[in-house]
Amino acid sequence: LEWLGLSLWAAQACAGARGMAASLARRAGRHDVHDREEVWALLKAPVPPSEHEPGQVSGRSHELRPVSHDVDAPAGASGNGARALGGYQPVLAPDDNQHSAPAAQPAVGDVQRMPRVVPQTPRDFPDVDGEWQSKEAQGSTTAPLEDQLDWPPFLSDPAQFLDEMRRSLGGVKIVHAALAAAVLLLLLILIASLVGCASHGAPAPTPAPDSHARSATVRADHAAAVGNHSLRSGSSVGSSPAPEEAERAPEPAKSIPAPAKSTRAPTFSAGGNPFADFMVGPASTSTHTTTKRPVQAPDSVPLTRAQTTTTRRMATTSTTEEILAPSGVPRTQATSTTRTSTRTSTTQSTTTTRPTASATPTTSTRSTTSTTPPATSTVTPRPSMAPPQTTAGAVQPLTDLSEPVGVGAGFRPWSEAAAMAASVESQLTEEERFSLLVGNGFPAFEFWVGTTKAIPRFSIPPLKMEDASSGFRPLRVGEPGTVTAWPSMLALASTWDEELIWKVAAAIGTEFKGKGANVVLGPGLNVHRTPYGGRNGEYLSGEDPYLGSRLAPAYVGGVQSQGLIATMKHFAFNEQETSRNSVDSVVGQRTAFELYYPPFEAAIAAGAGAVMCAYNLVNGTHACGSKSLLVDTLKGTLGFEGFVMSDWKAIHETYALPFGVDMEQPQSKYFTLETLRTFAAATSEAARRILASIYHLRLDQQPTCELPCEFERSSNQRTPDHLKLAQSAAADGIVLLKNDGVLPLSAAKFKKLAVAGRAAVANDTINTWGPGSAYSIGGSGHIPAPDVVTPYEGITARARSAGIEIVHSVMDADLVIFVASTTATESKDRPSLNLDGDVDVMIPKVAAVKPTIVLFEAPGAVLTPWREQVKAIAGLFLGGEQTGAAWAAMLFGDRTPSGKLPLALPSTAAGLPVPAADRVVYTEGLATSYRSPTLQPAFPFGHGLSYTTFDLGVPLRTPCDSALCVSLRVTNTGGAAGREVVQAYLKFVPSDGVTQRLRGFHKTRELLPGDAEDVVLRFAPRDLSTYDVSTQGWKQHEAFSILIGASSRDIRHTVSVGSVI
C-alpha cells in the first residue's frame, strides 16, 4: 500500500508538472523558453517577460492606493470595485519615459494590453450562499503567478514531501534510502520535462483564413479578464458537490485543472471618477497603448484559437471491414429525403434542392401539419433526416450539416426495430439481459457519465452516455477546450428558428460522436413554471408548450441524424430544483396535457430514442417508478416506443422496473439479478425497448470505439466551422428589448465608447461540477470554455475596427455599454431575479450622466428596474463561448437582431410562482406567463425588436389540407435587412380563463428593404383543441379568435372564426 501511495503521488506530480508547463506557456504567451533560468524567471515575474511590442511602455511600476468610499462610488459596486481588491485600487506610477516618444497607434481591430496588477491585500469572494468570505475561506488567491500554479508536491516542498514519506514508511532505512534516490531522480526528470514543455509543449497557433487567429495570450494581456466568474464562488475549480448534488457530480479528485488565467479583477483610478469601481480596461490617462496581433472585426466570424481535427480508423461492430470515420465532416447520401412532421402548425410548404453524393439534385418537400394528432388519429412518425427548410432565398447555412453521418438509407421503422429486438432478446442469456438494463457506474472509466456493456455476439454496442443538451461535457483531465460551448437551450429557444436549431443539434451530435459517445443526455424540454427555476436555462421550451413542441423535433432530428440517441428530459414536472429528490408535484390532467406534455409528445413523434425520468415525485409517487406517468401516459397515451432511463440515482424501489423504468443509472442498486428474475416479463420488455432504440437508429451498424475510448476522448472536436455556427446561433438568440435610436453603433453617432460591468470581462468557470457562469449554466449541463470570447474583447475589437475610441472613464465617453449577468446551478433554484452585484444601483447612476446601453446575460427571467432610464437593452440567455463576438455583431449592425423572448420578463417579482420545499400544487393551472390575466410584464412573451420595421398585411383565410389556414404578406418597410417572427395566438369562446395561447408562428427569411414574403399559417385540429378531462381526450373548438402580431402584446390583426361575439 505504501508503494502504491508513492506511485499515485508520483503520478500526481507528473500531472502537476504538465499542467504547470501548459499554464506557463499560456500565461507568458511564450513558446521559445529553452533553459531552466528562463523558466524560473518566468515563474517569479509578476508580468510575464516578453518582447515589448510597438507602443508598449517599459519600466512602468505599480502601486496600490486606498479607495475612498463615497456615496457615488459604493464599495460593493458591481464589477471591479474596492470590494474586489480589498479596498485598494491599482494605480499606474509615473513613467520616466512616458512622454519621451509619441505613442504608436493601434491597428484596426487590435486588442489593447492592460497592465498586469498583483494586489497585495486580501480579496473577497461570495460563497455558495451569497455571503462574503475571505480568500482564505474560499481557497482563492491573488498571489503572484508561482503561487497560483498547481505545484506537484516534489517541487512545492520537497523536504516536507520526504518527511511525510519517511513517516509513512515507518522508518525503514533501506526503503527510505531507495525512496530518496527515486525522489531526487524523478525531481530532475520533472524539471527537465518542465523546460521541454515550456519550449515545445504548446505550438503557436496558426490563424485560420476565415477566422480570428486568437492567441491564448489575449486573455493574459487583458488584465481585465476576471478569474472564474460565478454567482456564488470566486474559484470553482474542483468544486465539491453538496450531498444533494452528488447524483451526477464527479469526485473532487477528478476535477479539471483550471486554465492559467488571471483571477485579478482590475480597477483603475480615474482621478476622483465616481464610476471607477465598475469600469473595466486600462487606465485612460496614458497616451501609450500596447497592440496585439490584429484582430479582425467579428462580422459573423468568431475569435478563436487554432484548431486541430483528428481522424481514426474505427471498426464497426457488425462487420470486419474498417471504415474511415470523417472528423467533423458529415457524409452525404445519394437518397432523396422527404420530411413530414406530424405537428408543426405554421410554415408554408417549401421545395428546395440539395446536391447529393451523386451530384444529382434531390428534392426535399417539407409539409407540416400537427405535431400531436388528435386522440382518434393513428400516426406513425418518421424521424427527420434533414433540417427544417425555409423558403427559397433564405440565408444559407454556415456549415453543411444537412445529411446524416453513417445511418445508411435512414432509420429503421419502429415496427421493424421492435421485431429485431424481440428476436434478439429471446436469445440473450440472463447476464446479457442484465447488462442492458444497468449502468457500469459513475464516473465510468473515470470520465464517462454513463455506460452499458456491449454484447458482441449480436453486434450490440455499448451505450456511451454524456451530458448535455448544450454540448459535450468534458470530464477528462485536459478535455475542456476540445469541444464547443454552445449557446444554452434557452438562448436557442430565443431564436424561434427550427432550421438553426437543427443545424446546431447536428453539430453537437458530430462532437459527441467524435468523442466516442452514442447517447446524448438531452434535450431538456420542461416548460418553465417558476422564473426561479435553477435549470430553466437548460430547457428548450421556455415558458410555452407550443414553442417547445416546434423546437424539440428540430433538436432531436439534428442529433439523431448523426447516428446518436437523443434523450428527452426530465419527465415530468421537474420545474424546480428545491428539494428535487423529495418534492411532490401535484398536477391536474388538463394542465399536464396542455401545458407540460406537448414538447415531449412532439419529440416522441420525431423519433426520440430515450426518455430520462425525473427526481421529483408526481402526485405522490416518484417519477422514476410511477406507473401512471410512465406506463399509462408516456408509453400508452403519448405512444413512446423507446426506453426510459432513470436520472442518476433517481430510483427508490424495485417496483420501478414493472412500473415503467427500463434502465437504472448510473449502476445497479434496485435492478439486480434477483429483481430481474422476479419481474421476468417486465425485464424482457425493458430489454426489448433498449434494443429497439439501438436498431431504430442503426447503432448496431455504426462505427464505435471500445471503452474507455481514450483516443476519441483526447481528440479535438472544436472546429472553426462549429465556432462560426456557435457565434451565429448566439447572435440570433440575442433579444433586443429596447432601442431609443442608439443602435446600431457607428462612429457617426459616437466617437468614444466605454464598456463597464464586471460581467464584461468575466471568464468561464472551469469545473466538472459547480457554479455556472455568464456563458453556461452550472452542474451537469456546464460546458467549460477556457477560450471564451468575453463581451469586452468582442465589443472593443469591433469598435476599433469601426473607428470608435475605447475609453475607460464614464465621464470621457459618449456612450456607455454596461454588461451585467447572473447565472444558475443545478440542484439549486435562483434566490433572486435580480442581476448580480449592485448593478441595479449603478446602472441608474451611469444613465443619469451618459447615454447607456445595458446588455444582460442570464439563465432565465430577470428584473429590469432601470429600464426607463437607459437608451437600449438587450438580453442573451447564456450564449456560450462566442458570447462576446455575438454581442459585437449585434451592436454594430453586422447582424440585425431577430430574437424573440421565449418567456415574459416580469415588472415585479410579486405574485410569481415560487419553489416550495415539500409539496408544490400547480393551482395556477394554465395561467402562467403571458397566459395569466394578472401578469403585467416589463417585456412580454414573444417581444423582440429589429433594426428595421415590418408590415404585417391583412390576414386572409386560405383553402388548404389542414383544419384552418391563414395567409398574409410580411413586408420589410425599414432601411435594413432583417427577419420577422409572425406569431398567432388563439382565444377560445367561451373563455376558459386563459387570455391567449400561442398556436402558430413563422420566422421569415432575411428580407431586404422593400422585400416581402407570403406566409401561410397552418392550424391542425389539435391546435384548435383543448383537453377534456371528462372524455380523456381532445375537444376541438368551433368558435375562437386568431390574434396575429409580433408578440403576445403587439397584436396587429384579429381573425374571427365561428360564432365569436
What CA–CA distances, in Å, run from 505 to 523, 556, 560, 1016?
Answer: 9, 7, 9, 26
Distance CA 433, CA 428 (A): 6
Distance CA 624, CA 2 (A): 44
Q: Phi/psi class of residue 929: alpha, beta or left (left: φ > 0; alpha: ψ in -120 to 50)? A: left
Question: Using an 8 Å Cβ cutoff, are 662 and 625 in contact?
Answer: no
Pairing of β 62-66 and β 88-92:
antiparallel
Cβ density class 1010-1029: b for 16+ within 10 Å, e for less: eebbebbbbbbbbbbbbbee
Across the strands, what pairs with 921?
586
Residue 1042: which residues within 8 A CB-CB, separation 6 or more?
Answer: 955, 966, 984, 985, 986, 999, 1054, 1055, 1056, 1057
Phi/psi of residue 512, each to 5°?
-60, -45
What CA–CA distances, in Å, run from 492 to 544, 552, 778?
Answer: 14, 11, 17
Where does residue 921 rank: exposed (0-12), middle (13-18), buried (19+ CB within 10 A)?
exposed
Distance CA 551, CA 541 (A): 7
Phi/psi of residue 10, each to 5°?
-65, -40
Q: Phi/psi class of residue 579: alpha, beta or left (left: φ > 0; alpha: ψ in -120 to 50)? A: left
Q: Of 820, 875, 877, which is closest to residue 846 (Cα–Cα)? A: 820
Q: Of 944, 1018, 954, 1014, which is closest to residue 981 (Cα–Cα)? A: 944
Question: Using an 8 Å Cβ cutoff, are 384 and 366 in contact?
Answer: no
Distance CA 763, CA 483 (A): 17
Q: Which runs of E-coded beta strand occur in 321-448?
A: 322-325, 339-341, 350-355, 361-368
Cell numbers that stand for 159 in this block: 523536504
Catalytic residues: 647
Question: Using an 8 Å Cβ cutoff, are 232 and 451 in contact?
Answer: no
Where does residue 4 rank: exposed (0-12), middle (13-18), buried (19+ CB within 10 A)?
exposed
Residue 325: which residues within 8 A CB-CB, separation 6 or more?
Answer: 311, 312, 313, 314, 406, 703
Q: Of 431, 434, 428, 429, which is closest to residue 667 (Cα–Cα)? A: 434
Which segments of 515-568 does DSSP mark as H helices, in order?
Answer: 545-560
Match 408543426 to its residue by C-alpha cell.
344
Q: Of 352, 319, 328, 348, which is closest to residue 338 (Cα–Cα)? A: 352
Distance CA 712, CA 699 (A): 17
Question: Using an 8 Å Cβ cutoff, are 1017 and 984 in contact?
Answer: yes
Match 397552418 to its residue by C-alpha cell.
1018
What CA–CA distances, in Å, run from 456 to 315, 317, 432, 688, 732?
Answer: 12, 7, 10, 17, 45
Cell numbers that stand for 287 in this block: 497616451
Where does residue 666 rank: exposed (0-12), middle (13-18), buried (19+ CB within 10 A)?
buried
